[in-house]
Structure 1
Amino acid sequence: PGVAYRLWEEAATAGLPPFDPPEILEADLSPLLLDCALWGVGDPAMLNWLDPPPKAALDEAQMRLHDLGAIDDENRPTEHGRAIARLPLPPRLAHMLVEAAWMGFAEIAAQAAVLLSERGLGGPDVDLERRLERWRSERGKRAEAARGLAKQWTKLLPASQPSPRKEGGLSGAIALAYPDRIARRRDASGEYWLSVGGRGYRLDPAHPLAKEEWLAVADIQGSAQGALILSAVAIDFATIEALYGDRIESGAHATFDPATGGVKTESGRRLGAITLSKGQDAKADPLAISAALLEGVRVHGTALLPWSDASQRLRERAAWAGVAGLSDADLADSLDQWLAPLLVGKRRLSDIDSGVLHNALLGLIGWDGQQKVERLAPPHFTSPAGTTHAIDYGAEAGPTVELRVQALFGVAEHPVIGANRVPLVLSLTSPAARPIQTTRDLPGFWKGSWADVAKDMRGRYPRHNWPDDPAAAVASLKTKKKQGL
């Protein structure tokens, strides 16, 4: 009993989830994965979770920890990873502090960590340099406490080098924490940016940072391409090159083009997804082309593949029958198993034979899965008139069959499928294939509105038989003359 105050429009209530999702399903799992590595658990799936962490999120966290040098190829913690774990910070920021201490700019890195950890500190400006200057001049209790926190974190770090290196400073610190978010301007206005990690970012073109060539980006909002930059700092390429020169690749490079479903190859210098300089078109290694195609499907989804109608129906039937392995998530998790072998020697996804793709799906569910699908989700419905009709398992109303109503004369019980005897949705049509009725209760239709439908049909299609008692009539698509009536 009591009063509940709703802080949103009433119309939005229906679209809200009943409860907030568990944090483990939405959070960055890098700290969790590092803790598991320190405990000696290389695969978190071995643990008993109330809510198992999503595999995609674990894979992303694993890749991030590898990039930070916190774990090795066998997911064991490195010495750097242990140093990171000793700091009371997320792995990205802890890595930034440890690396900055070795390079000689621990103090400003600690300030950057506080700036990114304490929401609103130094104001809401996107430019972290401005926020840092504003925070340094503030004299309030919160600002003083934050400065004290930065000093505490600095004391936890190893001794700095005798002289700071030139790639220090706020921009260098942010680039250390978020190497995948270093971004380059893509257009003259500065609205669109491309990150080293391959994601597209957006920035208000009226902001002064829009005039910069490079940004070290810290906070973004949105998960799709074109995420909004919330905080960043200008960085020069000399600093980027000093920090990540070993990651700049030269030579032929293969990239996936989602518009064509193919691979482009070009020579030049690249830092992640950013092309620094271009050369002439070049022939890339066939393995690199296959890897680019596989990554393209991983990023843009399996809908890019040339699925046949039979394959789409098989996936819908398997989903309805409860046979795991063919959902979008399942296919994405097992791309290396079933898709990678099909990409050898291919340059476009359209080069894959649709029949081979279909066989790959059958292989994923195996013989037992195929038999279960056939038993619980038959592909066709055969009417008493001898006609065969595909069952649409992707229909919004449920498994649906469209057929002429005359093909069901003589049927006294509604057709059902599956172990739970689920009624088929019957989409009944006239001899001209015009819709008459959609029903899950055929006997009820015969006893109910059929009399009115039959009266209308006799006027429209007088050459066909429209019996008063269709449940006792003979199913046939022939005219009365051909039936001898």
Structure 2
Amino acid sequence: QAADADLRLRVEALRRGGAGGAPLPGHSVDRGALARARKEVSHWKRRLSAVRRGDPAAAPDSAGAAALRDGGRSGAGDVAFTGVLAALAWPDRVGRLRGGTRYLLSGGRGAVLEGEQTLVGTEWLVAVSVDGRGRDVRILQAAPLDEVDVETHLEGLLVDASEVTWNAEGARVEAVRVRRLGAIEVSRGTLPDPDPELVEAALEGGIRAAGLRVLPWTKETIQLRERLAFLHRADPDGWPDVSSGALLATLGDWLLPLAPGARSLAELERVNLAEALLSGLGWDQRARLDSLAPTHVEVPSGTRVALDYSDPEAPVLAARIQELFGMAETPRVAGGRVPLTVHLLSPARRPAQVTRDLASFWREGYFVVRKDLRGRYPRHYWPDDPVSAPATRRVRPRGE
């Protein structure tokens, strides 16, 4: 069975032996070690007395000198003060419980108490003597502390830091003030007024990690982005890149200026993404956008058909064949440079043919398609001359 690691038991045994009393039950005292210890105590008492008299030459070369003086006044000889003195001697071995019998030491290593120990469950301790190498060591001797001891006597070793980070689970920025002793987090509290630049950076990081899908896209703003992507592909120098990579890399330019002070995805719901996307365009580009990449095309039947720009290489016009009668040529976008890909639909709105050359389709492909569809949809209108025939939204044009 492992010996009890509580250093206070040894200190008490030394005190009893030094006073001529009986040792604690189960303990014995090495008289030679006791004499050496008492000699060392006398040495430090003399130095402490000199410090109190104001002799700078006698002052200990330690950041803990002030705490040592305080300890002297509050009874450094008390066994209860063992942990404080040990912490001043080994500040990198202050440990905080992180579960069970395992501790995180301020120096960054892990440590464990083995066997039946009086210190089991102690929140804070100082691992005076350890054994082992690697990430986790075994605690051989330790003395307990409490958080008040840490805050009072190790104040000079505590570091306060402001942390502004992204909470992925809560989808928001968190701002906290953290106090640490080396690797140990001593306390954590809300930071009421974080640096706006840090908040913006954390929000950007959160959006980048989650992707653009977390933004409040609508059918209209998705189409706007697709139209801009089409124009960028057609004219890379004349139109901005709105790919995911480009937009995520420039969130601070196009998105966040429209959401000042935002700290969560919920607060971004108020952002007008259309205006955000258009913010990167000049007035001339805004004026030409609708003519170069229109949202709709009016077909001969009079229907305004929405264009599909989801493939920036081939914008699509999808309409029933009957509504396209009389459209001799394929409509074009990007100033006439790019023909639309026309999806000619059956009366049931299923694709019957796909072409980028309507004139050729009317001359050749139409009659093959008509032969098939006329058998399935005999009540619908299937003229012999589709270019001169009237278009209709109905089963047949009026009067036919």
With the length of structure 1 as denominator, give the TM-score of the two structures.
0.44
**C-alpha distance in structure 2 between counterparts of 1:354 and 1:408, whole Å:** 40
**C-alpha distance in structure 2 between counterparts of 1:278 and 1:430, whole Å:** 71
Q: 2:190 aligned with 1:282, yes or no?
A: yes
Q: 2:220 aligned with 1:310, yes or no?
A: yes
Instruction: Decide whether the 8 Å contact of 1:265 with 1:283 is kept in 2.
Output: yes
Q: Which amino acid aligns with 1:411?
A: M
Q: 2:392 aligned with 1:484, yes or no?
A: no
Q: Which has the higher helix share?
A: 1
Q: CA deviation at 1:276?
A: 5.2
CA RMSD, Structure 1 to Structure 2 (Å): 3.7
Instruction: Decide whether the 8 Å contact of 1:318 with 1:324 is kept in 2.
Output: yes
Matches within 5 A, 1:83-232: 212=135
Q: 2:262 aligned with 1:346, yes or no?
A: yes
Q: 2:319 aligned with 1:403, yes or no?
A: yes
Deviations 1:48-74 (A, max 9, x none): xxxxxxxxxxxxxxxxxxxxxxxxxxx
Q: CA deviation at 1:310?
A: 2.2
With the length of structure 2 as denominator, give the TM-score of the two structures.
0.52
Q: Which amino acid aligns with 1:311?
A: T
Q: Which amino acid aligns with 1:309?
A: K
With over 3 angstroms needed to count, the CA separation of the structure-2 counterparts of 1:282 and 1:397, relative to structure 1, is: same
2:161 to 250, 273, 295: 250
Structure number, greater radius of gyration: 2
Deviations 1:329-354 (A, max 9, x none): 54345433333333334332242246
Identity of aligned residues (%): 38
Q: 2:368 aligned with 1:452, yes or no?
A: yes
Instruction: Decide whether the 8 Å contact of 1:261 with 1:304 is kept in 2.
Output: no
Q: CA deviation at 1:436?
A: 0.8
Gaps in structure 1 of 5+ consecutive residues: 1-166, 168-182, 186-208, 214-244
Instruction: Decide whether the 8 Å contact of 1:404 with 1:430 is kept in 2.
Output: yes
Tell me the secondary structure at the aligned position of residue 318 of structure 2.
strand
With over 3 angstroms needed to count, the CA separation of the structure-2 counterparts of 1:300 and 1:454, relative to structure 1, is: same
**C-alpha distance in structure 1 between counterparts of 2:230 and 2:276, whole Å:** 19
Q: 2:359 aligned with 1:440, yes or no?
A: no
Gaps in structure 2 of 5+ consecutive residues: 1-91, 93-107, 111-132, 137-155
Instruction: Decide whether the 8 Å contact of 1:266 with 1:279 is kept in 2.
Output: no
User: How many residues were matched structurally?
Assistant: 246
1:292 to 198, 202, 214: 202
Q: Which amino acid aligns with 1:315?
A: R
**C-alpha distance in structure 2 between counterparts of 1:320 and 1:331, whole Å:** 15
**C-alpha distance in structure 1 between counterparts of 2:183 and 2:293, whole Å:** 50
**C-alpha distance in structure 2 between counterparts of 1:249 and 1:263, whole Å:** 19
Deviations 1:160-214 (A, max 9, x none): xxxxxxx9xxxxxxxxxxxxxxx999xxxxxxxxxxxxxxxxxxxxxxx9x847x
Which position in structure 1 is the counterpart of 2:48?
none
Q: CA deviation at 1:466?
A: 1.1
Q: 2:371 aligned with 1:463, yes or no?
A: no
Q: CA deviation at 1:462?
A: 2.3
**C-alpha distance in structure 2 between counterparts of 1:352 and 1:315, whole Å:** 18
Q: 2:177 aligned with 1:261, yes or no?
A: no
Tell me the secondary structure at the aligned position of residue 375 of structure 2.
helix
Instruction: Decide whether the 8 Å contact of 2:330 with 2:342 is kept in 1.
Output: no
Q: CA deviation at 1:298?
A: 4.8
Which position in structure 2 is the counterpart of 1:319?
229
Higher RCO (CA 8 Å, separation ≥ 6 residues): 2
Q: Which has the higher strand share?
A: 2
